[in-house]
């Protein structure tokens, strides 16, 4: 994946959008997207951030409509990502904020969370962390019978 293909319509990493609105883009070729609910993504980011090597697993991250999205190499859906996440394959549509929107500047709900030097996340490092944290969140959400 290159900046020229990351979403169509970008040139050297800047969206050419005269009105500055979010845009729907076609996923791929060369990259796919994992969408996670924002609370899961925040825990994953926090967990990875505690370890310098693990932190390199996360590439560009964006926030939109209560979810966080990360870019992955094509065919990063085996093994499957945990329930509660959505994997968008090449050819699917994804809504991306303009590159000039930063999360903190937009009230923390829409924009780019991270634009690290490496756009693609590393699924081999990321998958176990996302799966473990998603399972823990699901376990906490299950009501327990009262004694």
| The predicted structure's pLDDT at residue 100 | 82
> Which pLDDT score is estimated for 142?
65
> Does a structural domain hold residue 2?
no
> What is the distance in angstroms between the CA of the first residue and the CA of the last residue of the chain?
54
The pLDDT tens digits along the chain (147 residues) read 444 455 433 323 434 455 567 789 999 999 999 999 999 999 998 888 867 677 788 899 999 989 999 999 999 999 999 999 999 999 999 999 888 888 766 567 888 888 876 899 999 999 999 999 999 998 887 666 664
Could you tell me if residue 108 is inside a domain? Answer: yes
Residue 111 lies in a domain: yes
Amino acid 8: pLDDT: 39
Nearest alpha-carbon partner for 89 in 131, 41, 130, 28:
28
Alpha carbon distance 23, 17 (integer Å) = 8
Q: Global pTM?
A: 0.81
Is 33 inside any structural domain?
yes
Give the domain range for residue 105.
28-141
In a domain, 87, yes or no: yes
From CA 139, how far away is CA 9, in angstroms rounded? 41
Report the number of distinct structural domains present in the chain: 1
DSSP structure class, residue 24 = E
Does 91 reside within a domain? yes
Residue 16 lies in a domain: no
Q: What is the pLDDT of residue 113?
A: 86
Residue 96 is assigned to a structural domain of this protein: yes
């Amino acid at each position: 994946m290159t900046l020229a293909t990351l979403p169509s319509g970008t040139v050297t990493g800047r969206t050419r959008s005269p009105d500055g609105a979010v845009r729907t883009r076609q996923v791929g070729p060369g990259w796919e997207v994992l969408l996670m609910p924002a609370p899961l993504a925040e825990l994953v980011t926090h967990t990875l951030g505690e370890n310098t090597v693990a932190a390199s697993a996360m590439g560009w991250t964006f926030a939109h409509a209560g979810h966080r999205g990360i870019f992955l190499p094509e065919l990063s859906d085996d093994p499957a990502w945990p329930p509660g996440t959505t994997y968008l394959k090449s050819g699917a549509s994804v809504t991306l904020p303009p590159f000039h929107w930063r999360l903190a500047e937009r009230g923390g709900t829409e924009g780019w969370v991270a634009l690290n030097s490496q756009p693609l996340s590393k699924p081999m490092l990321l998958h176990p962390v996302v799966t473990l944290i998603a399972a823990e969140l699901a376990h906490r959400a299950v009501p327990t019978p009262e004694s």
